[in-house]
Chains A and B, each alone.
Chain A
Amino acid sequence: MAEYIIRRLFYGVIVLFIMITFIFVIMRAVPGDVVLLQLSDTGNISEEQVAALKTELGLDKSVAGQLFDWLKGAIQGDLGKSLWSNRSVNEMISARLPVTLELTFLSSIIAILIGIPIGVISAVKHNTFIDQLLRLLSIGGISIPNFWIALVLLTFLSLVFNWIPPLGYQSFMENPVVNIQQMILPAICLAITLCASIVRMTRSAVLEVLHSDFIRTVRSKGAIERIVIYKHALRNSLISVITIIGLQIGSLLGGAVVIESIFSLPGLGSLIFESVNSRDYPVVQASVLLFGAMYLLVNLIVDITYGWIDPRIRNS
C-alpha cells in the first residue's frame, strides 16, 4: 500500500514537471511581451529601457536557463516574484488560496450531502415518476452552465428580495456571518454540476448492486429494507461514486474561475485569470502548478480510498 502511494506520487510529480515545462515554453513563445506591456505606459520605449527591464526581471536568459532557475527556486519553496507588482508569488498565492479552498470545500460538501441520498432514492424508486423526474433534473444539472445559474440567482434575489451579497470579501475568521453570505451562492452554483454527476453515478451504481445476488441473500435473511440499502448496497457502490467525485473535482476547480469572477471573490481562479491576461509568468506558472497539484492530490486520495473501502483491492 505504501509502495503504491509512493509510486503514484512520483509519477504525479513527473507529470506535473512535463506540464510545467509545457506551460513555461508556451508562455514565452506566444506574442505579448510582458516587458513591452509594462513599458508601454511610459511612452517612447528605448532599447536600453527594454534591455534593462529584461535583465531586472530575469528574462534575458534563454528559455531553458529561465526554466532551470525557476525550478531551482521552486524546489526550495521560492516561487519567484510577480513581474508586475514585485510581490512574492508565495505571498500572493497564500492570500488567495484559502478562498478557493473554502469555496471548493463548501461546494463538494453540499454536492455530496445532497447528491448521494438523491441518487439512492432515485435507484430505489427505479422507473417511478420520482425517478424520471430526478433523472431529468440531474441531466439538466450537468447541462446548464453554472455561471448562468449564478446570474439568474443574483438577478432573482436582487429583483424579488432586494438583496445582494455583501461586497468586499471577508474571510471566515474575520466575520463568519458575512463570509457565509458571500460564499453560499457561489458554492451552490458550483455544487450543482457536481451534484448532478453524483446523482447519476450513485443511481446507476446502486441500481447495479441492488440486482446482485448477495443483496438477495441479505433480504432473504430478513433484514429491513433500509439496512439493505444503506449498509449493504450503498457501501458497494461507493467506489464508482468516489471515482466520479475525483474526476469532477477538476471541472469544479475550473468552474471556480468563472464563479469567482462573477461574485468578485479574491481567489486563485481570479488570480490566474488576471495574471494570464497581464502575462505575469511567475504567477501563472505557480497557479497552474498549484491547480495541477491539487487535482493530482485529489485523485491520489480517491485511489487510496479505493483501497480502504474495498479490501479486495487492498490485498491484491
Chain B
Amino acid sequence: MYQVQIKSQQQVIVKKHTRLLKLLNDCKRFMVTQKIGFASILIIFFTIVVAIFAPIIAPYDPIDQNRDAFLDGPSLQHLMGTDDLGRDVFSRIVYGARISMVVGFGSIFLSLIIGTILGMVSGYFGGITDMIIQRLMDAILAVPALILALFIAALLGPSVVNVIIAIVIVSTPQFARIVRGEMLRIREMNYVEASRSIGANAFRIIFKHGLPNMLAPIIVVASLGFGSAIIAEASLSFLGIGTPPPNPSWGLMLSDASRYMESGPWLVIFPGLALAVLVLAFNLLGDALRDFLDPKLSS
C-alpha cells in the first residue's frame, strides 16, 4: 500500500508540472538545434540589459552638450566620437536602445493583443462582425505601411507614444488575419465540436482550445514584427515626426548625421550599425522560430 502511495505522489508531482517541463524541454531543444536563433536571443537580451542599465553603462549624459568637444572623432574619451553639439555618441546610442526597445516591444505587444482579440472574434463568430472587422483591416492594409504610419504620427505630433500608436494601428491587421485564419481552421476541429456539445461557451472554446493551438504563427509574426517596428520608429524619427529631439533615438541621430556626412562619418556609421544589428537579430530569431515550430505547424 505504502509503495503504491509514493508512486502516485510522484506521478501527481510530474503531472502538475508537465506543461512547464515540456516548455523547458522545448527551449533546450531550440538552443541546440537553432544555434543562430540562440545567438540572436543573446544579442537581444544584451540589448535589453544595456537599455535597462543605461545610466550605469553610459559614461556621459546623452543630452549634455559640450561645445569644446565639437565633432570629435572616436577617441579614448569618446568611444564613438561626439556629435555637432558635443554630445557623446556612445552614451546616446546606449540610451537610444531604450527608445527602440520600448517602441518595439510596446507596439508589437499591443498590436498582438488587439489583433488577436479581433481575429478570434472575427473568426469564431463570423457573419457581420467578421465582415466589418475584415473590411476595416483591409482598409488599413490598402495603404503602404510606412505611409499610413507617417500620416498618423505626423497628425498626432512628435512623441514616443504617438509613434507607438501609429505602429500599433499599422501592425494590428497582420495579427488579426493570421488569428482569424487559424480560428477558422480550429473551429472545425473535432475537439471543438465535442466541447460545444458538452456545453462549453464561446469564451472557453476560444481561449482554451483556440489560443494554445495558434501560438506558433503568432510568435513568428511577432518576432519579425519587432524588427519592422524598430525600423518604423527609426524612419519616423528620421523624418522628424517620431521621437522628438533631444531624445537619442537612433533614427533621429541619423537625421542629424546627414548634415555632417563629410565632417563626421562616425555619426552616420554607429547609429545605423546599432539599428542593423538589432533588427538583424530579430529577423534571424523569427526565421529560427519558424524553422523550429514548422514541423509542429504542419500537423
A residues neighboring B (CB under 8 Å): 12, 14-16, 18-19, 22-23, 26-27, 30-32, 139-140, 142-145, 147-148, 151-152, 154-155, 158-159, 250-255, 257-258, 261-262, 269, 272-273, 276-277, 284, 288, 291-292, 295-296
Contacts and interface: CB of A to CB of B under 8 A. Distances in A.
Nearest to A193: B231
Contacts of B160: none
Contacts of B235: 145, 147, 258
Q: Is the interface of B mostly helix, strand, loop or mixed?
A: helix
A291 B147 contact: yes
B275 interface: yes
A151 B138 contact: no
B145 A139 contact: no
Nearest to A250: B144
A255 B155 contact: no
Interface in B264-296: 265, 268-269, 271-272, 275-276, 279-280, 282-284, 287
A292 B262 contact: no
B286 to A, nearest CB: 10
Contact of B268 (A26, A143, A155, A255): A155
A145 B234 contact: yes
B147 A254 contact: yes
Contact of B143 (A148, A154, A288): A288
B142 A16 contact: yes
28 contacts: A12-B142, A15-B138, A15-B139, A19-B140, A19-B142, A22-B139, A26-B151, A143-B227, A143-B276, A143-B279, A145-B234, A147-B238, A151-B257, A151-B261, A152-B272, A155-B265, A158-B261, A250-B144, A257-B239, A258-B146, A258-B239, A262-B258, A269-B147, A272-B150, A276-B150, A284-B151, A291-B143, A292-B143
Nearest to A18: B139
A257 B143 CA distance: 13
B79 interface: no
B146 A296 contact: no
A276 B268 contact: no
Contacts of A22: 139
Nearest to A278: B154
A144 B279 contact: yes
A163 to B, nearest CB: 12
Contacts of B265: 155, 159
A127 B47 CA distance: 31
Most buried by B among A154, A155, A273: A155
A7 to B, nearest CB: 15
Contact of B258 (A32, A151, A255): A151
Contact of A139 (B154, B238, B287): B287
Nearest to A12: B142
B220 interface: no
Given A143-B276, A148-B275, A155-B268, A295 B262 contact: no
Contacts of A143: 227, 276, 279-280, 282-283
Contacts of A288: 143, 147-148, 151
B277 to A, nearest CB: 8
B116 to A, nearest CB: 22
Given A15-B142, A254-B146, A273-B150, A152 B269 contact: yes
Given A154-B261, A272-B151, A291-B147, 10 more contacts: A19-B143, A22-B139, A32-B157, A145-B231, A147-B254, A159-B265, A254-B144, A257-B147, A258-B239, A296-B142
B151 A23 contact: yes
B176 interface: no
A276 B254 contact: no
Nearest to B280: A143
B150 A292 contact: no
Contacts of B147: 253-254, 257, 269, 272, 288, 291
Contacts of A250: 144-145
A27 B155 contact: yes
Contacts of A276: 150-151, 154-155
